[in-house]
Chains A and B, each alone.
Chain A
Amino acid sequence: MQTAIFTEADRAQVSFLAPLEKKTLIWLARRTPAWINSDHLTTLGLISLLGAGLSYWYARYHRSGLLLVAACLALNWLGDSLDGTLARVRNRQRPRYGFYVDHIVDTFGVLLLLGGLAMSGYMRAPIAAGLLTTYYMLSIEVYLATYTIRNLPSFLLEVQPH
């Protein structure tokens, strides 16, 4: 396989909670048992979104499904956010693999979550479909911008893609 140099795109963490989240994730990563690696956490993130989607569907028949959704989303945050931090804390980064898998997992995760929401009766299916479509279009825009803008000479970079 060709191993061309891979340059990671800059991350823009603009949420006011981002610094607190970062500290929390580093704290958690340093206390994560050695037998747990970032692949386990990525898998947890995807499975928890499947759980969230199924819980939304279950909420159609019983409101307690909504509580399960909240629990699954908390697990998703743990898995999806901690996998990269764990890799960085342990100096086990895989930039290309991580970038690719993270976004593919997000792609399926959003489908599972919004699919469940569409079947929950709490949101009409056309609105869930509209959200999914717009999210995918925005994702395509971000990926194309990341590819094209990052490959421009640096003096042309007035604004980083985000």
Chain B
Amino acid sequence: MLFYCPMVQLAGSTYRLYDVGGAAGVTGLALMLMASIVRHTVQLYRAERLP
């Protein structure tokens, strides 16, 4: 795909294929990061409650 057509049409605009993939990657990683932080913070907060 990248070899033959490195550009994509999205909502009437033209973007680089890897820009779209990269933006999707950043979004996915950021969501995983936030979910993981919330989950582990809650887990550790419950494990070590203030007296």
Contacts and interface: CB of A to CB of B under 8 A. Distances in A.
For the residues of B in contact with A, the DSSP-based class is: helix
A161 B36 CA distance: 8
Interface in A108-127: 117, 122-124, 127
Interface residues of B, number: 24
Nearest to B37: A141
Interface string A122-136: 111001101100110
Kindly list the 8 A-B residue pairs having the minimum CB-CB distance in the complex, ordered from nearest: A123-B18, A127-B22, A134-B29, A122-B18, A156-B47, A130-B26, A138-B33, A145-B40
Interface in B1-50: 2-3, 6, 16-19, 21-23, 25-26, 29-30, 32-33, 36-37, 39-40, 43-44, 46-47
For the residues of A in contact with B, the DSSP-based class is: helix
Interface of A: 63, 66-67, 117, 122-124, 127-128, 130-131, 134-135, 137-138, 141-142, 144-145, 148-149, 152, 156, 158-159, 161
